Structure 1
């Protein structure tokens, strides 16, 4: 019994280290999202850190359109980054977790 418990604890520690390594790796995974009409481009990491924003010059003269395009592009980019981030971390967590009934639904 204690051997199983010790083995499980070791596996959980190993999984924690893999999660940390995955989070660090996701800092180097970049995603690019373009807003409506291609007027805004957002580059961010899979950890949801914005790296670059590119704007079409004509947006600088139209504040309302600029704000709308930025909000749309940023929301789309953050959604995409969140999906990649969550999928990667879920895969690592599932790999290292013991087979406990109902755990899969808890991790989603």
Structure 2
């Protein structure tokens, strides 16, 4: 039983490491602002088109940057949830012996 629980914990750590290697993106205004994040919801890059930056006012830039970040984080959440669901299904299948299945 303990071995199966340790294996499940190891699998969770493996998934977390894998999520760090998956990039997700959020962009607004046809790519004027692009945000890159990991599936673990860590922002890794922000790109603002120079021409857009020159003509945008501060408030517009802030609002669009926030929207791009939120899109990237929402995509990260989806990827993370999908990965965790698959792992949970695998782990529960592996733990079935604990419950007499």
Q: Which TM class, normalised by the smaller chain length?
A: 0.7 to 0.9
Alpha-carbon RMSD: 1.5
Structure 1 position 49 matched with structure 2 position 38: no
TM-score normalised by length of structure 1: 0.76
Match of 1:19 in 2: 12
Report SS of the residue matched to 2:45. strand
Structure 1 position 64 matched with structure 2 position 67: no
- Structure 1: give runs of 5+ residues left out of the alignment: 1-5, 100-108
- Structure 2: give runs of 5+ residues left out of the alignment: 97-101
The size of the alignment, in residue pairs, is: 92
1: distance between equivalents of 2:66 and 2:79?
Answer: 20
Q: Which runs of 4+ in 1 moved over 3 A?
A: none
TM-score normalised by length of structure 2: 0.81
